[in-house]
Structure 1
Amino acid sequence: MKKASWKGKVIAESDKTVEVEGDFYFPPTSIHQEYFEKSDETSMSPSKGKASYYNIVVDGEKNEAAAWYYAHPKSEAKDIKNYVAFKKGVEIE
């Protein structure tokens, strides 16, 4: 079972994560929605496609664009469609 946490709160947990290029991607149903808000930020990955981001908000503190996902990944990344990965101090254990 993998858990993602920030500021002492578990924001996602699953035993069905997928590891890609050193990042753990959590199924969309495994994230605790109350800690996530959509971000306007996007980026491009040559191998995965366009990433969209979430801000993580815990106890009024915002971690901007700390989570990302691929709504329409390239075919070689189809296994992580809508799965969520983390950066910016989010701990994975």
Structure 2
Amino acid sequence: MQATINGTVVADAAEPDLITIEGNYYFPPSSLTAELFSDSPTPYNCPWKGDAQYHDVSVDGTTYHDAAWSYPKPYPASFDRVGRDYSGYVAFDKTQVQIG
């Protein structure tokens, strides 16, 4: 499965390697085109997952603000709810990134 912005692949992983949480596909960190990502200062805390890290994604000279997010250090208790450790896995804003 790929995450793309205007045809540029920003993440690519086999579907069994993805984790689905609340309707979002989370891609493993190794599947990202890392040089396109930079950390955003946007703060967010999920009551059951923990502190999120938002990411800006830059493609062809355009930066897509908060186009992705991850949980670098999620609450360990959330692993039971999700079914496995998803630390650092990245999900995408479906209004900016195409998943398919």
Same fold (TM over 0.5): yes
Counterpart CA distance in 1 for 2:46 and 2:8 is 29
Match status 1:81 vs 2:80: no
Q: Distance in 2 between matches of 1:8 and 1:86?
A: 15
TM-score (norm 1): 0.92
Residue ranges of structure 2 left out of the alignment (5+ in a row): 80-84
**Cα RMSD for the two superposed structures:** 1.1
Correspondence for 1:92: 99
Paired positions, count:
92
Identity score, percent:
37
Q: Which runs of 5+ in 1 are unaligned?
A: none
User: What is the rounded CA distance, in whole Å, between the counterparts of 1:38 and 1:3 in structure 2?
Assistant: 21
Equivalent residue number for residue 65 of structure 1: 66
Instruction: Find the aligned partners of 2:43 and 2:72 in 1 and give their Cα distance.
Output: 11
Question: Tell me, what secondary structure is at the counterpart of 2:68?
Answer: strand
- Quick check: which has more Rg, 1 or 2? 2
Which position in structure 1 is the counterpart of 2:40?
39
The answer to which structure has the higher strand fraction is 1
2:13 aligned residue: 14
